[in-house]
Amino acid sequence: MRAAKAYLRSPAALMGTAILFAVLVMGLGANFLYPADPLGLAGRPLQWPGADPRFPLGTDPSGRDIAAQLFHGARISLLIGVVATSIAVVIGIAIGALAGFYGGIVDTLLMRVTEAFQTLPNFLLLLVLVAVFGSTMETVTVAIGLVSWPPVARLTRAEFLTLRTRDFVQACRVQGLGDAHLILREVLPNALPPVIVYASVVMAVAILLESALAFLQLSDPNVPSWGNLIGLGRSVLRTEWYVSAIPGVAILLTILGVSLVGQGLNDALNPRLASGR
Amino acid sequence: MSRLVVEGLTIRLPPGADRENAIEDVSLSVAAGEILCVVGESGSGKSVTASAVMGLLAPGLSIAAGSMALSGEDLRAQSPEAWRAVRGRRIAMVFQEPMTALNPLMSVGAQISEMWRVHMNLDAREAERRALAALREVNLPDPEGALRAFPHELSGGQRQRVMIAMALALEPEVLVCDEPTTALDVTTQAQVLALIKDLQRRHGTAVMFITHDFGVVAEIADRVAVMRLGRVVEEGTAREVLTRPRHDYTQALLAAVPGLHAPTARVLSPDVVLQVRGLTKTYVSRGLFRRRKPVRALDDVSVKLKRGATLAVVGESGSGKSTLARCVVGLLGSDGGQIVIGGAPLPKRRRDAARLVQMVFQDPYASLNPRRRAGAQVAQGPIAAGTPAAKAIQETRDLFALVGLDPESVGRYPHEFSGGQRQRIGIARALAMKPEVLVADEPVSALDVSVQAQVLALLRDLQARLGLSILFITHDLRVAAQLCDEVAVMRNGVVEETGPIGAVFADPQSAYTRSLIDAIPGRALFGV
């Protein structure tokens, strides 16, 4: 309750929530505003925004409506962001919790695996995964989740390391409770706040990674994502720069929204850290 | 004349706090060569008063009214720059925890020298010469070595001596001590108190000494101010306040100070419920580059607890008493020896051990999960052991009533309870498992003296009603004397002396036990 109040008092958090809500509405409203296939041909290619009142944001090199792609793309970007983040957070928490709680040999093994993932640049790893498993929406999303979990695991492990020796956890051991109870009921709820805050960073990065893949035309070409649109504009970047710039601004705003929400969550969930600034 | 005068000082708390003002209309004065003790329980505003005098109020607090003057000079009007010149040079402070008050990355010598280099622009060599002299004055055993040592290489008492040397470096007019001996062992506390008193007399410093311990007050104070809920309720000379307290609150506080009178010996059952035989525990720290000497936390420790009795395990920090407690409840494995409860060795499985032995923890704020309801934390043990949930919850409500809590409060979260109430929850949690032996690890040392008395009374009452056998770990001989039948005195992992508590306190056989008893603050006043 207190955290919710603190969140609503923070202007950054409210602005972030408003931006994300707008993107969500865009995604949800896409089918009503642009019921036709956004990837279908709509008119003459490369019309500047405003040149034809039918296409307020112009058309791309193939003559598809940019506004329609932007609205439908909001859906894709949010979906990829949320699903990939969930995958990363679940894997990260599971590995971090086990490593931090048990320590010793379990910790050593799991952390070496985590470090192996971390030492590879995650975009490179993503390219390899997509190259091997193909670039459908599903594989791209799962691949992004698979390259994003190591920092979550390290953060969770650090929290578990300090929390597992706390008296209340020891008290539960003395009460004869099992490890599953200790991990899930006692330690995890206390370890979650920083992980939730970090999840917003993972989500922003997930959206960016998808766009970067699409820019290299390695993402699923059959969905109208913002990244694909930027990729399409690449060949005409010097003359018709708006094709790339419009979805670029959309990505920028969405990530700004996610980051602001993350900051708001941080201020609300870690009040002591926030007041120190 | 008065060095420090505080008049009508009112400090406002941020909105939403539990009361409007941290301190209200507080007037105090300290003269040169005088020690004023400001006594109070937690939340009385004594530390806020000290930080106001130092110009170090926490953010959110603001001075609403009143004045502070240092040798006639108004302190409230000081700019932040002027404050910096005053702090350290004219008003110095000694903090409670010397480890956190010293910079861990700077050698002790460098930290003390800094005082002269910053405030008086002395060159490095002269500053170091004076630092050495200052360390000599606080009776550090090896001043030259201490100069080069880092804070973690010194013991708690030595660190506090360094803090005092630093505080007195520039001969300040006023020295503010905020619970300077609370984190120290009782024998070290006695030495540090004597040191403060001696230096204060030699330099004629005015000392404002914040404490919660009336024993310490009796040792050191010239005058006493008793604070409660932000107000000074009584002020007078130490003799007046300690022997003829006028205010009800002061009387209650003094009555709650435990004396060292052992209770009349009870007839104890011959049946031994817990037997520890030759227990050994060694801590080995493995480092990549250097291997520290292994620490013997327990060295061939043997103690016996009779059924229905209380055995006090007394010792200073590092004596191994907490290690013993953790071994007995199975939180730590031992390297050798045996723990026998009710005739059988302590089972390895956590669930089996839980029925035999339970523990009450020291810190009531850390020992409850902040995110779970109090009742659930008590009931979860029996539920895991197979009691049906409805029955366990009913038993929890009964236990809450038994330990003096409202049975309806089982649904509340820990932060809605006070420290004493939380400790009652901790006791209820331990009793829920119906153990043969209750291990209490410093259960009252984090509590205010009046709350301490209540929790001790509760334990005594529960023992009488339920026939509990208690292994009571404490550093405080006075607390042990309140409750325990027998005592084992530990030092460096070895049991120095055991016996009935009355006999041991009246006629200690070991020199160490005697030094512990001699070091109890305020013995002259509160009796042995």
Q: Write down the pLDDT at residue A277.
A: 38
B121: left (phi over 0), alpha (psi -120 to 50) or beta: left
pLDDT tens digits for range B185-242: 888 888 889 988 988 888 889 999 999 888 899 989 999 999 998 999 999 999 899 9
Residues of B in contact with A2 (CB under 8 A): none
pLDDT given at position B287? 57
- Interior CA angle at A234 toward A233 and A235, to 5°? 95
- Contact: B366, A177; criterion CB under 8 Å: no
Closest-CA distance, B250 to chain A, in angstroms, reads: 34
- Please judge whether B362 and A181 are an interchain contact, meaning their C-beta atoms are less than 8 angstroms apart: no
Please tell me the predicted confidence (pLDDT) of residue B482: 85
pLDDT confidence tier of residue A271, bands split at 50, 70 and 90: low
Q: How far is B448 from chain A (nearest CA, A)?
A: 20
Q: Which residues of B touch A170 (CB under 8 A)?
A: 331, 359, 361, 367
Cβ atoms of residues B178 and B50 within 8 Å: yes
Q: What is the CA A81 to chain-centroid distance, rounded?
A: 4
Lowest mean pLDDT across A143-157, A185-199, B246-260, B353-367: B246-260
Distance from the B417 Cα atom to the nearest Cα atom in chain A, whole angstroms: 16
- Looking at residues A102-121, what average pLDDT do you find? 92
Torsion angle of alpha carbons B251, B257, B262, B265, nearest 10°? Answer: 70
pLDDT given at position B375? 93
A168 closest CB neighbour out of B369, B381, B432: B369
Verify whether the Cβ–Cβ distance B368 to A168 is below 8 Å. yes
Length of chain A: 277
Q: What is the pLDDT of residue B528?
A: 47
- Residues of chain B that touch chain A, judged by Cβ-Cβ distance less than 8 Å: 59, 329-331, 350-355, 357-359, 361-363, 366-372, 377, 380-381, 384-385, 426, 429-430, 432-433
Closest residue to B380, CB basis, from A166, A177, A275: A177
Q: Which of B355, B361, B385 sits opposite A167 (nearest CB)?
A: B361
CB contact (8 A) between residue A186 and residue B372: yes
The partner residues of B38 in beta bridges, in order of sequence, read B210, B225
Pick B401 or A232 by higher pLDDT.
B401
pLDDT-above-90 percentage for chain A: 43
CB A43 within 8 A of CB A54: yes
Instruction: Output phi, psi for B171, to 5 deg.
Output: 50, 60
Q: Nearest CA of chain B to the CA of A152: how many Å? A: 22
Which residue in chain B has the smallest CA separation from A174? B354
CA A211/CA B388 separation, integer angstroms: 54
CB contact under 8 A, B381 and A185: no
**Alpha carbons B235 and B198: distance in angstroms, whole number:** 24
Closest-CA distance of chain B to residue A189, Å: 7
Measured between beta carbons, the chain A residues lying within 8 angstroms of B366 are 166-168
Interface of A with B in 173-192 (CB under 8 A): 173-178, 181, 185-186, 189-190
Q: At what angle do helices B449-466 and B248-256 cross, to 10 degrees?
A: 50
Separation in Å, CA of A179 to nearest CA in chain B: 10
Contact B369 A175 (CB under 8 A): no
Whole-number Å distance between alpha carbons of B172 and B91? 5
Inter-chain residue contact A175 with B355, CB threshold 8 Å: no
Answer whether B98's CB lies under 8 Å from B138's CB: no
Q: What is the pLDDT along chain B (528 residues), one digit of tens a residue?
A: 789 999 999 999 888 777 888 899 999 999 998 999 999 888 888 889 998 998 888 888 889 899 999 988 888 888 888 888 888 889 999 988 888 888 989 999 899 998 888 888 888 889 989 999 888 888 888 888 888 888 888 888 888 889 988 888 888 999 999 988 887 888 888 888 998 898 888 888 999 999 988 889 998 999 999 999 899 999 999 989 998 999 999 998 888 887 777 677 788 888 899 999 999 998 876 655 555 667 788 999 999 999 999 999 998 888 889 899 999 999 988 888 899 998 889 988 888 899 999 999 988 889 999 889 999 999 999 999 888 999 999 999 999 999 999 999 999 999 889 888 999 999 999 999 999 999 999 998 888 888 888 999 999 999 988 989 999 999 888 888 888 999 999 998 899 999 998 888 888 999 999 998 888 887 777 654
Q: Contact B350/A177, CB-based, under 8 Å?
A: yes
